[in-house]
Chains A and B, each alone.
Chain A
Amino acid sequence: MSAPDATPKRASHRLAETAHQNDSARVKAGMRAFISDFGPTAAIFMEACVHCGQCAEACQFYVETGDPRYTPIHKIEPFKQAYEREAGPFALLFRALGLAPRVTLEELNQWQDLLYDSCNMCGRCSLICPMGIDIADLVEKARHGMFEAGLVPPDYLGAIAEKERSTGSPFEITQEHFRQTLLEIGKKYGVEMHVDEEKADVVPTVSSIDIKMFPASMAAMARVLNHIGVSWSFRTDGFDADNVSLVAGDRKGQRAVTEAIVAAAIHCKAKTLIMPECGHSYTEMRWEAANSVGKRLPFRVLHISEYLAECISDGSLKVNRVSQSCTFNDPCQISRRSGASAAPRAVLSALGADLREMPDGGDMNWCCGGGGGVALIGRAQALRDKAFQIKMRQVEATGADTVYVSCSGCRQTLEHGGKKFQWNKTVGSLLELVSDNLATIERVLP
């Protein structure tokens, strides 16, 4: 685990606040956060479960450990109990007959590792459920409750979520700091950088992991956009899409991050907002942002892989062919959860790469093990390593030497895992691969 600057100096906002609350107040806050965005869909999901246990077979934590506690639907058990008691159609009966006892803070605390350490919110279980329950969605709602009850694993997830809420960036990167970083990157990589332009058709965002660990990816972004020749600009008033708050369960922080980016994009009249190689930030911006700000977004939201595929398709992006065998690791949030698994394949195909699909690849891909904020929980390291075995087997099966990813979270997890288990595979970024193989084209200037 890196992110050296992320050492928590103080407990997260909510944790600090809950320190002065009694248990029942914390539970109450948790429950109300859980049920307060319940609509018919989530309620149907709560009602439909038949306890068939099949979801366990889709979950890498159960598959690799055999521990029944990791059964996905079991992870929301206390919240199910709370729902039946407080918001279900028979809530009155449940309360009157004492069928669902009040959930205690102790119980919630016991469930902390199930809801955080052992769930990537990867959504494989949502695809196996014979009743069609979107369990990943319920886990997300349960995390809202856990956050409000002050039960986010503090080390490091809670700590950096708190920073994100108070500063807009999980690593406390200020606007000025970001501006300087961008300009330095432009200079270092010799690429023309566009920052805070008043008007831009295309606004790219970054993941804070990129700033800390993969600055080349930002250079790649700039180089590709320059190549395509659109009017584009980074916005320092809305750049960090990472949204650690989302995985921590902090809805306020989540909304703050989203609102800043939406406002920045609107400010420069963007037509397209590009999400970086990052998972949860995409689902947030693509599917939740409009609901968070309460209106339809006046611009498109595209993942960088989608944007690349689109530009290749319309001819504005031309790439050289690489003759290389590789495999592609689908980020759960982009592929399975958002239906964009075709885009990276179109890009790799345009590059002429010899793509060898992993078994269980594409929409059924196993999570790298770091998703859903699990990579940010220190104590989850051992569990994460176990789940990582699946990923290694998957990649081994392809025989490819290089794994391309389109998510910095996956990239970081694969690199760390590879190092730890002395794995001879190379991990590469799809964006950087494209940036490195741009065709030199003669643009016909008007």
Chain B
Amino acid sequence: MPERMLGEELALHKISRRKLLKFATAMAASLALHPSMAAAIAENLAKARRQSVIWISGQECTGCLETITRSASPTLESLIFDFISLDYQSVLMAAAGEAADRTLREAAAANKGNYLLAIDGSLSIKDGGVYSMTGGRSDLQILREFAGNAKAILAIGTCAAYGGIPKAAPNPTGAAGIEDVIGDKPIVNIPGCPPIPEVLTGVLVNFLSFGRLPDLDEQKRPLAYFGTTIHDQCYRRPFYDQGKFAKSFDDEGARQGWCLFELGCKGPITQNACASLKWNGGTSFPIQSGHGCLGCAEPDFWDKGSFYTSLAGGQGPGWKDIAIASGAGLAAGTAAAIAARRSRSAIDQSIEHERKTKSGTET
């Protein structure tokens, strides 16, 4: 297959430069780049070549794939699928079984060292990974095989990034994030349950137009999307600063669109771009539709107590535990008092004894 530049390919598809510039403008906004970068992105994209992407899955629910492909309806966003060659995706591809397996190996061999490895789902590492296997091999084995020759790894969704819901207590499969297993490859974490599709697009566009992964934070998340908390970007933030809080989902505060902090919103401790990029093509996001953030893009979000407990609180002991602690305190205190009584009566006896012997000797 002759390697054509994307610009030429796009021209064949009757995609004008104006369309490309429009896409680039949207991408620049999404990547939090200065709007003037749009032209550069468009130019670079036009010169780029199609990128091979291999997508494998761990313990997942296909929600991540759902959300990514939802954005691939006939919209401008779908342009991204013109830029990449999704060489293996078990759910989307027509082939199955050994044929699919063969496709995978061939794609990996053909693009050795250059393909991007995308993974959704967590890895089961307990008991040799027997809880999630494909073609008789554990996800862990498959990952290890294909990670080695990948240019970079994209951990898509909270499960791939941190272990996610499969890792929730008691974590029966020993689920773990990609990072816990693969240490020697550039990894981009795109957490979220599901992740925002535009983030994946943005990462790919960045990779295609600038030839490198975007800037990452210490948790290997793209800074452009995860650099701030949802709280900091939230349009309801002014109400937080004014101390105006909805107290229930149906009170006047809720109707007025006040801050949902007290209803358990995890926005202040969740770093993601929901409040700015929003969902379904910028339609809305949970807080805009009146529900607090669940914090789904953060590690172990499932095990951080009720979604409806205010961040201010925490997991204090229940009344039963308090009763037990009181009982223990009572026992210790009573023991201390008894000890004091005992030593006292011993003292009293010795004083009494002293007095008797003394009066005995004196008389």
Contact = CB atoms under 8 A, between A and B. Distances in A.
13 contacts: A32-B347, A35-B340, A36-B344, A38-B340, A38-B344, A86-B340, A87-B343, A89-B336, A89-B337, A90-B336, A91-B340, A92-B336, A92-B339
B340 A36 contact: no
B336 to A, nearest CB: 4
Interface of A: 32, 35-36, 38, 86-92, 252
Given A32-B351, A36-B351, A91 B344 contact: no
Nearest to A88: B336
Given A35-B344, A36-B344, A38-B344, A91 B339 contact: yes
A252 B354 CA distance: 12
CB-CB nearest 10 A-B residue pairs: A32-B347, A89-B336, A87-B340, A36-B347, A89-B333, A36-B344, A36-B348, A91-B336, A35-B344, A92-B336
Contacts of B348: 36
A92 B35 CA distance: 70
A225 to B, nearest CB: 37
Nearest to B333: A89
A253 to B, nearest CB: 13
B203 to A, nearest CB: 56
B329 to A, nearest CB: 10
Q: From A32, A35, A90, name the one whose CB has the most chain B CB atoms within 10 angstroms.
A: A32
Contacts of A38: 340, 344
Nearest to A17: B358
Contacts of B332: 89
B343 to A, nearest CB: 7
Contacts of A35: 340, 344, 347
Nearest to A36: B347
Contact of A86 (B333, B343, B351): B343
Contacts of A87: 340, 343-344
Contacts of A92: 336, 339
Nearest to A37: B344
A90 B333 CA distance: 8
A92 B344 CA distance: 15
A318 to B, nearest CB: 50
Interface string B127-170: 00000000000000000000000000000000000000000000
A252 B355 CA distance: 10
Contacts of A36: 344, 347-348, 351
Q: From B336, B348, B355, name the one whose CB has the most chain A CB atoms within 10 angstroms.
A: B336
Interface in B325-341: 332-333, 336-337, 339-340
B160 to A, nearest CB: 49
A36 B355 CA distance: 15
Nearest to A31: B347
B74 to A, nearest CB: 73
A14 to B, nearest CB: 12
Nearest to A40: B337
A88 B347 CA distance: 16
Contacts of B355: 252
Interface in B312-362: 332-333, 336-337, 339-340, 343-344, 347-348, 350-351, 355
Contacts of B350: 32
B55 to A, nearest CB: 60
A333 B339 CA distance: 35
Given A86-B343, A91-B340, A92-B336, 8 more contacts: A36-B344, A36-B347, A36-B348, A36-B351, A38-B344, A89-B332, A89-B333, A252-B355
Nearest to B354: A29
A38 B348 CA distance: 12
Nearest to B355: A252
B221 to A, nearest CB: 46
Contacts of A90: 336
Nearest to B334: A89
A196 to B, nearest CB: 27
A191 to B, nearest CB: 41
A35 B348 CA distance: 11
Contacts of B333: 89
Contacts of A252: 355
A272 B143 CA distance: 101
A92 B334 CA distance: 13
Nearest to B335: A92
A90 B348 CA distance: 22
A86 B228 CA distance: 57
Contacts of A86: 340, 343
A38 B340 CA distance: 9
B362 to A, nearest CB: 11
A38 to B, nearest CB: 7
Contacts of B344: 35-36, 38, 87
A324 B311 CA distance: 75
Contacts of B336: 88-92
Interface string B29-46: 000000000000000000
B359 to A, nearest CB: 11
A38 B339 CA distance: 13
Contacts of A91: 336, 339-340
Nearest to A251: B351
Interface in B169-187: none
B105 to A, nearest CB: 66
Nearest to A32: B347
Contacts of B337: 89
Contacts of B347: 32, 35-36
